């Protein structure tokens, strides 16, 4: 289909050669000699772009431009002017022209400008498709030759970056290819974790939840730096990439990665993160804390501040002031904390946990309106970006930058969209989570879960004789046979965590220093 161009110029008769040239290039030109006709035609017909002379009798180009933009803000307008005066260009740019050309112009200039404005999206989409195909082949080649934990981090970082890139283009086919490739990679990743994870507990390993403080926080405190340690619950790598451009305006960013322990659920991996210990070690060294916490998600995360204090004591890190810990659930909490930052200027170590994203993902499972607002992962990522850009967290980060503090910002686990219900059987003491279970004599299809018979081998505490753990593989979620269809419908296509996937386990940790 030919692109339709409206050209408004009081000397349009002198531009017939230009019009013929553009028509041979596949454009359909509609010429008019004044601004009022241009405005009328734009309201009557559909045009892909407008070429607009800046100096015309009656309504001048800037006046016409204002009228056109008021009617159709997205309409591309190219201003053509004889003047190189800066104030005219400022006025035109301020009125949202798409581009401008200085007379005399030749047909090739106009053609190049039109092609760049109107075809750039298609050209970029074609480039993206070619680059993605190359990346896909490279990823598959790497999978064939086998990967270590660093290679898996790099592969998933590439996949998450493509999540952001592909979101820009409305290419259904490319989106489906990418989704299928992620599933393919997650199957390979799950097999890798099954084979190697238990050896990470005692031997050579990546940075895990319980060693993150050792690698990224303790060294800064020992050097006397002021540190903000910010943990955003359930914050995936692609979410981080979505907000990183905003962070980049404030900080120099050293983005690194670590692996969440199993299960990828707040009571286990976040306690491990703050304690600097695996869950079975927490249960042994601090049995009162573990037992008083109970086994529900809320109760098991009431002791993070105490665990962090005990970590600092074990590591011999002495601070002039008691480290400050804050857990934030909502906007009121966040605003209140921001207002008291002035009183914390002398505190060397400030820890802040933001629970909003985790709460949002859980509420999305139950709330019809949230499902409509964020029907898929791309929409949820957009919602996450919007929250960050309008949250007090951004104000807190700016304040930290103004102080010259170092910010270590990370998460405790990610999430994955559950698509396939797997039947699990257990007694009444079995935990209620849908991506992992622990209890006695648990049964599930072996191909759909990683079953743990000896919890201590995986750094996990026993909750009684015969304790088993089940971790869902791929995009499965675990449902009891009673009312199976009801719960299958409830949890299908919802964001869940606790199991094994790249999205849940491979996590960003950024060290941010003010510019």
Banded pLDDT at 503 (limits 50, 70, 90):
very high
Residue 92's pLDDT is 54
pLDDT score for 70: 85
First-last CA distance in the chain = 49
- Percentage, residues of the chain above pLDDT 90: 68
- Name the β-bridge partners of 439: 468
Query: What pLDDT, in 10s, does the model give residues 391-432?
Result: 999 999 999 999 999 999 999 999 999 999 999 998 877 888
Instruction: Tell me: pLDDT of 354 over 80.
Output: yes
Range 348-359 average pLDDT: 92
Please report the pLDDT score of residue 422 as a whole number. Answer: 95
What is the average per-residue pLDDT within 439-447? 91
Contact between 408 and 258 (Cβ < 8 Å): no
- Give me the pLDDT at residue 372, please: 81
Looking at 14-140, which runs of residues are DSSP E strands? 27-32, 49-53, 77-81, 99-102
CB atoms within 10 A of CB 495: 23
pLDDT of 149 > 60? The answer is: yes
Q: Which of residues 309 and 99 earns the better pLDDT score?
A: 309
Provide the edge-to-edge strand list for the sheet that holds 449-452.
436-440, 467-472, 449-452
Confidence at residue 294, expressed as pLDDT on a 0 to 100 scale: 47
pLDDT of residue 94: 58
Residue 297 has pLDDT above 70, yes or no: no
pLDDT of 82 reads 80
| Rounded alpha-carbon distances, angstroms, from residue 461 to 207, 280, 323, 469 | 21, 4, 29, 10
Number of CB atoms found within 10 A of residue 395's CB:
15
Q: What is the pLDDT of residue 300?
A: 56
Model confidence at 88, pLDDT cuts 50, 70, 90, reads low
Tell me the per-residue pLDDT of 368-378, one tens digit each, with 9 for 90 and over.
777 788 788 98
Ranges 33-47, 165-179, 290-304, 335-349: which has the least confidence: 290-304
């Amino acid at each position: 289909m030919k692109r339709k161009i409206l050209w408004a110029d009081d000397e349009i008769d002198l531009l017939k050669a230009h019009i013929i040239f553009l028509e041979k290039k596949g454009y359909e030109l509609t010429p008019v000699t004044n601004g009022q006709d241009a405005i009328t035609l734009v309201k009557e017909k559909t045009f892909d772009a407008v070429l607009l002379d800046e100096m015309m009798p009656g309504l001048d180009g800037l006046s016409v431009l204002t009228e056109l933009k008021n009617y159709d803000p997205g309409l591309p307008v190219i201003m053509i002017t004889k003047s190189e005066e800066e104030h005219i260009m400022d006025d035109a740019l301020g009125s949202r022209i798409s581009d401008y050309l200085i007379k005399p112009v030749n047909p090739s200039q106009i053609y190049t400008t039109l092609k760049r404005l109107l075809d750039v999206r298609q050209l970029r989409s074609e480039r993206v498709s070619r680059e993605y195909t190359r990346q896909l082949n490279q990823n598959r080649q790497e999978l064939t030759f086998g990967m270590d934990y660093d290679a898996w981090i790099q592969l998933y970082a590439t996949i998450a970056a493509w999540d952001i890139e592909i979101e820009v283009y409305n290419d259904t086919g490319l989106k489906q290819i990418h989704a299928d490739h992620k599933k393919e990679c997650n199957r390979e990743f799950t097999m890798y974790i099954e084979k190697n994870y238990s050896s990470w507990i005692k031997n050579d390993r990546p940075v895990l939840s319980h060693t993150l403080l050792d690698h990224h926080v303790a060294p800064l405190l020992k050097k006397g730096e002021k540190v903000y340690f910010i943990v955003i619950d359930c914050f995936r790598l692609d979410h981080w990439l979505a907000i990183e451009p905003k962070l980049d305006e404030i900080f120099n960013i050293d983005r690194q990665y670590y692996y969440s322990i199993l299960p990828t659920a707040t009571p286990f991996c976040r306690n491990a993160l703050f304690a600097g210990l695996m869950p079975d070690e927490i249960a042994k060294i601090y049995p009162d804390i573990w037992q008083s916490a109970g086994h529900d998600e809320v109760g098991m995360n009431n002791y993070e501040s105490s665990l962090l204090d005990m970590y600092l004591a074990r590591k011999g890190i002495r601070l002039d002031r008691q480290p400050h810990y804050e857990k934030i659930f909502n906007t009121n909490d966040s605003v209140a904390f921001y207002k008291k930052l002035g009183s914390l200027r002398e505190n060397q170590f400030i820890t802040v946990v933001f629970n909003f994203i985790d709460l949002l993902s859980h509420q999305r499972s139950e709330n019809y309106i949230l499902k409509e607002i964020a029907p898929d992962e791309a929409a949820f990522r957009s919602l996450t970006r919007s929250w960050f850009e309008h949250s007090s967290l951004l104000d807190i980060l700016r304040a930290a930058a103004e102080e010259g503090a170092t910010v270590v910002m990370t998460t405790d686990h990610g999430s994955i969209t559950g698509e396939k219900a797997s039947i699990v059987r257990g007694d009444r003491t079995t935990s209620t989570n849908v991506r992992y279970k622990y209890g006695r004599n648990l049964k599930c299809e072996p191909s759909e879960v990683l079953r743990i018979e000896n919890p201590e081998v995986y750094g996990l505490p026993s909750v009684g004789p015969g304790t088993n753990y089940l971790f869902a593989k791929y995009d499965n979620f675990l449902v009891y046979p009673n009312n199976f269809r009801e719960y299958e419908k409830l949890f299908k296509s919802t964001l869940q965590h606790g199991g094994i996937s790249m999205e849940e386990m491979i996590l960003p940790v950024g060290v941010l220093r003010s510019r």
